[in-house]
Chain A
Amino acid sequence: MDFEVVIGLEVHLQLATKSKIFCSSSASFGGEPNEYIDPVTFGLPGALPVLNYKVLEYGIKMGLALNCEINRFNRFARKHYFYPDLPKGYQISQFEEPLCERGRLDLFINGGWRSIGIKRIHMEEDAGKNIHDSRTGSSLIDLNRAGVGLLEIVSEPDIRSPEEAGFYLKAVRQIARYLEISDGNMEEGSLRCDANISLRPAGTLQFGTRTEIKNLNSFKNVEKALEYEIARQHKILKEGGKVVQETMTFDTSNLTTRPLRSKEESSDYRYFPDPDLPPLVLEESLIESIRQELPSLPNERLKTLTEGFGLSEYDALVLTAEKASVDFFQAVFDVCNNAKLASNWITSELFGRLNKEGKELKDSPITALALGQLISLITDEVISGKMAKSVFDEMYETGESPDKIVEKKGLRQLDNEDDLLKLITKILDANVDQLATYFGGKDRVFGFFVGEVMKETKGSANPKKVNELLKREIEKRR
């Protein structure tokens, strides 16, 4: 019996707002333990929440980017459970009336498009951090993170493989970064993922029993955990057993899943609308104005690069990985008007150099303008492609403009016909034997002549012109 894999992912995205969602303590990362606290964060008696508008704005942006319906009426609800990192004994979240519902994320996987449904997106507050020290038998609580704004993004169970899950997560992260609402970093905790997975006989519609996997801290581990869990469930089902619905954790040391010690009580969160927070009744004009502010999203930029500029899928994917890269590409193109060259120079030369030094695009000593100018020098045939490489290196080292460097070093291509002709004539005259070999059928010798011209001109001769003229003069002597 063939089994189909059914995966749903819950992503928590930590928002990059300055202050927390319900109070004006800093939402920064780092900081001494319990530095970013106030009466609201600490759950003091009498403290009351006040919504940070930026969180709402970021939530709407994400909802629009994921093609969701923005619920014009939505509100906050209290979710109750006892845990030391949850100071009020409840988390302010959204329950029956979330901010966004019924969306879609289109993934570009292995050359084709897959649509994953987005069930809902809602706003909520983060909990603090617990450090468990079994040595001293105590736990240490830091509430800096408590109250930071989160978006919870829940997918439909449309994902069909661990690989797809990886793509989905990367796409969510990419969109979050394009929108500049979150760093989306799993390793730093600004993107967290819980995975739900079940198997069912292929072709059936009813869902099998699922398990939930928590505490996944990298894209790779999400895929590995899912792979392991699929195999585990498959074995159980094949042997006629039943999968137990439970919550698992992923053990990174031996790459297996195991059940989390069962929670103290079955989770009856006793949700009810938070009486301290009036509901949100969103005006069309508000949503429209936010929609106007949206940047072009990754899929759009991808299409522009492949269909509009004719770049290869591969190159387009590299460039659109980050908004900064594709914006950089666009800026370079705007100067030099050559998409292919722009793409090549960015992805091979610039990225190559930056990656080697562990630098990011924003740290690049070469600006988009400068690179565009360099490429223009090539297309205008002022310098050769080969020469451009050394100009590039000089630009990288000094940050100077290509024009300046070319002038300074006198690197303008030699393309004065008369001068070149004189040189070519000299070389042909000096290498009669080679010429004879060439006429004898050894085409390779042509390269030798080119080489000689280049040697004489220290590489600054215009290769196209050289080729043209050499061919002509050689034929003349045939």
Chain B
Amino acid sequence: MIKNLSKLSRLKITDDKDIESIIAYVGKLNSVNTDGVEPLSHVHGSKNIWREDIVSPSSSAEILEGAPDKSGTFVRTPLVIDG
């Protein structure tokens, strides 16, 4: 499990103990019955937020400036291997 978490998050895990104790702590959520309770994801019940289909110009050059490695206006990474 931990090894898979490492891969999924692209991070090494070094303090299993702390993580385990935190996960054990949050397990106390199971002490309460939540049958039929609707999960709360938007605290004020917001809905139906959208915008018109309009194009706005943007400064792509400024945004690209932050990229550590470029080739022309492409962003460059080590070779991606997939079949």
Is there any pair of Cβ atoms, one from A and one from B, under 8 angstroms apart in the complex?
yes
Interface residues, chain A, with chain B CB atoms under 8 Å away:
17-19, 24-27, 32-39, 42, 44, 50-54, 56, 80, 82-84, 130-134, 137-143, 249, 258-261, 263-265, 268, 270, 273, 275, 277-282
Chain B, residues 41-83, CB within 8 Å of chain A (1/0): the string is: 1100011111111111010100110000001111111111111
Where chain B touches its partner, the secondary structure class is: loop
Interface residues, chain B, with chain A CB atoms under 8 Å away:
4, 7-8, 10, 41-42, 46-56, 58, 60, 63-64, 71-83
Instruction: Report whether B49 and A51 are in contact in the complex, using a CB–CB cutoff of 8 Å.
Output: yes
Most buried by B among A33, A56, A132: A33
Where chain A touches its partner, the secondary structure class is: loop
> In the complex, what residues of A have CB within 8 A of residue B76's CB?
138-141
Instruction: Report whether A278 and B42 are in contact in the complex, using a CB–CB cutoff of 8 Å.
Output: yes
> In the complex, what residues of A have CB within 8 A of residue B78's CB?
137-139
Instruction: Report whether A132 and B63 are in contact in the complex, using a CB–CB cutoff of 8 Å.
Output: no
Query: Given contacts A24-B55, A277-B49, is CB(A260)–CB(B83) below 8 Å?
Result: yes
> In the complex, what residues of B have CB within 8 A of residue A258's CB?
83
Instruction: Report whether B77 and A53 are in contact in the complex, using a CB–CB cutoff of 8 Å.
Output: no
Query: Given contacts A138-B78, A265-B8, A275-B42, is CB(A34)–CB(B64) below 8 Å?
Result: yes
Q: A24-B55, A140-B75, A275-B41 are in contact. List 11 more A-B contacts (CB 8 A).
A: A24-B56, A33-B72, A51-B49, A54-B52, A140-B74, A141-B74, A260-B83, A261-B82, A278-B47, A280-B47, A280-B48
The residue on B at minimum CB distance from A273 is B41
> In the complex, what residues of A have CB within 8 A of residue B82's CB?
260-261, 263
Closest beta carbon of chain A to B37's beta carbon, Å: 16
Instruction: Report whether B79 and A137 are in contact in the complex, using a CB–CB cutoff of 8 Å.
Output: yes
> In the complex, what residues of A have CB within 8 A of residue B64's CB?
34, 37
Taken together as a complex, chains A and B put the C-alpha atoms of A84 and B54 apart, in Å, by 27
The residue on A at minimum CB distance from B52 is A53
Most buried by A among B50, B53, B54, B74: B53
> In the complex, what residues of A have CB within 8 A of residue B8's CB?
80, 265, 268, 270
Q: Choose one: A51, A141, A261; the contact of B50 (CB below 8 Å).
A: A51
The residue on B at minimum CB distance from A22 is B51
Instruction: Report whether A54 and B53 are in contact in the complex, using a CB–CB cutoff of 8 Å.
Output: yes
> In the complex, what residues of B have CB within 8 A of residue A53's CB?
50-53
Instruction: Report whether B50 and A25 are in contact in the complex, using a CB–CB cutoff of 8 Å.
Output: no
Instruction: Report whether A278 and B55 are in contact in the complex, using a CB–CB cutoff of 8 Å.
Output: no
Instruction: Report whether A37 and B50 are in contact in the complex, using a CB–CB cutoff of 8 Å.
Output: no
Instruction: Report whether A19 and B55 are in contact in the complex, using a CB–CB cutoff of 8 Å.
Output: yes
The residue on B at minimum CB distance from A36 is B60
Closest beta carbon of chain A to B69's beta carbon, Å: 8
Closest beta carbon of chain A to B6's beta carbon, Å: 10
Taken together as a complex, chains A and B put the C-alpha atoms of A446 and B47 apart, in Å, by 81
Q: Which 9 A-B pairs give the minimum distances between C-beta atoms?
A: A260-B83, A54-B53, A278-B46, A140-B74, A38-B58, A24-B56, A261-B83, A51-B50, A53-B50
